[in-house]
A and B are shown apart, each in its own frame.
Chain A
């Protein structure tokens, strides 16, 4: 019983997160201006981080937690660097 519940919940959550990732990438590719693309990359990072957490629940392996933590840190640094670049024209002054 609990296997069925968990299986369907994880599957639906993974499909929803995959659709969310697709929507973020579509906006990142289309995005009329550079700041839309940066925000799309940030959303894509967060969604993929959540996707990996759900994948960790599916496999029962805590290894995926560390991958998603790394993705979260890298996403933050990347978005801050890109926002700085949009503002000033260079990242390190």
Chain B
């Protein structure tokens, strides 16, 4: 770590704080992903690491290299923007796929499909909501 000797103290402190925040958020997110009970709870936890975890570490990297090379180094922003833009897309696709799989298995814990008129299911519409397509195929794993 010889390059760190060229880093002034304020920059080293800033980089250290941002690194610890980012890594801590990523660790908390992964711990929540490991601990939470069902998939729909679990899908929320890793976003801690993909939002501010990534942002903090990217910021630490930007500060470190900007001060070391004494010019503005901003290419780490690419990673930040890319991760911020793509995470909601992947998680929405994955969540919808999981919902589809749970519905087609007839899992009672997920909300039933909405009626053709676009209303949410009400208790008197249980007959319609039971007509959710049941696949006889077992989709376990």
Contact = CB atoms under 8 A, between A and B. Distances in A.
B97 interface: yes
Contacts of B50: 46
A13 B19 CA distance: 6
Q: Interface of chain B, helix or strand or loop or mixed?
A: helix
Task: Please indicate which of the listed interface residues A34, A39, A56 has the most CB atoms of chain B within 10 Å of its own CB.
Answer: A39
Given A3-B1, A46-B54, A13 B15 contact: no
B12 A6 contact: yes
A53 B64 CA distance: 11
Given A9-B19, A46-B46, A60-B3, A24 B94 contact: no
Interface residues of B, number: 60
Contacts of A56: 61
Interface residues of A, number: 53
A26 B93 CA distance: 23
Contacts of A19: 27, 30
A87 interface: yes
Contact of A60 (B13, B43, B68, B96): B68
B93 A80 contact: yes
Interface of A: 1-3, 5-10, 12-14, 16-17, 19-21, 23-24, 26-27, 33-36, 38-40, 42-43, 46-47, 49-50, 53-54, 56-58, 60, 62, 65, 68-69, 72-73, 76, 79-80, 83-84, 86-87
Interface of B: 1-5, 7-9, 11-13, 15-17, 19-20, 22-24, 26-27, 29-31, 33-34, 39, 42-43, 46, 49-50, 53-54, 57-58, 60-61, 64-65, 68, 73, 75-76, 78-79, 82-83, 86, 89-90, 93-94, 96-98, 100-101, 140-141
8 contacts: A3-B1, A6-B1, A19-B27, A23-B34, A57-B15, A62-B75, A65-B76, A69-B82
